[in-house]
A and B are shown apart, each in its own frame.
Chain A
């Protein structure tokens, strides 16, 4: 049997979601953003929410997310996406409203907006890409940068005396009464990707069911910023990031509400 015959007669097993358009993404080769874009697109399509989704993009690497996923987008000021999302969801309660933010945007400049939107139990989902570095501006230290990790603004490694500790926003979010579902996922393997997709689906469904705010952190790689190959970055993430940023659900009260 030839390859051509399989393609012609076989079953389609995997195809890029149509909601993710053909515009080439600006992300570096191997960047986790692309995988998460695919998952978000797949979930929106599978939920049949293409015409009812309003997404908010951040400032950071995902600033151009609006070019790739074919839903309505609002491009927020740095860190302010949860504020835009709060108003948007309250004004259009039957829409699926989510933000897509990186660690600099969410865990640093937008900490206040993030914590308060989550704690107001806004019926939104926050997708949080945590790669422990500022990717877009060229690899500077982020609030989530691990101790000892080298970046452009902590070239000798992050140290407590100079820079304080890395911030676990997701752990904080899990303590807030307003949050419904708080989880930390990754997209470095097929199994992890499948789990992350389920988590995004659950968060989006809770948002639509009015169960409160939802935070899906995706521990990610930034191979350019980390100065590693994509493959090595995945390994480094497994060996270093997961030790500090434990994967799994931190909170899920969706069934109780």
Chain B
């Protein structure tokens, strides 16, 4: 059965670690870093469960800073 595979690219320097993308993701793909911070000092969003992403773009849609780019590919 064909299924959607997605991938997110987070502009980690632009990210302010608001966590809204993490909350919006229905599949827990994203999380904030626990230790690493960007140059502004924020923990930033990153993929932790890459394989489960379907590319629904919920994370990117709710991101107030437009940090997330989403790609999607149909697989067999």
Q: Is the interface of B mostly helix, strand, loop or mixed?
A: mixed
In the docked arrangement, what's the CA distance between A30 and B14, Å?
13
Contact call B72/A13, Cβ cutoff below 8 A: yes
B12 within 8 A of A: no
Residues of B within 8 A of A194 (CB): 61
Q: A6-B6, A7-B71, A15-B69 are in contact. Are A30 and B19 (CB under 8 A)?
A: yes
Contact call A33/B64, Cβ cutoff below 8 A: yes
In the docked arrangement, what's the CA distance between A35 and B63, Å?
7
B31 within 8 A of A: no
Q: A6-B7, A29-B17 are in contact. Are A1 and B73 (CB under 8 A)?
A: yes
25 examples of A-B residue contacts, CB within 8 angstroms:
A1-B5, A1-B73, A1-B75, A3-B47, A3-B50, A6-B5, A6-B7, A6-B55, A7-B7, A10-B5, A12-B69, A13-B6, A13-B60, A14-B61, A14-B68, A27-B64, A27-B65, A29-B42, A29-B64, A30-B64, A34-B63, A34-B64, A187-B62, A189-B24, A194-B61
Interface size on A, residues (CB 8 A): 38
- Residues of B at under 8 Å CB distance from A? 5-7, 9, 14, 16-20, 23-24, 42, 47, 50, 55, 57-58, 60-73, 75
A153 within 8 A of B: no
Which single member of B24, B62, B73 contacts A11 (CB below 8 Å)? B73
Contact call B9/A7, Cβ cutoff below 8 A: yes
Contact call B70/A13, Cβ cutoff below 8 A: yes
Contact call B64/A10, Cβ cutoff below 8 A: no
Taking the nearest CB of chain A, how far is it from the CB of B54, in angstroms?
10
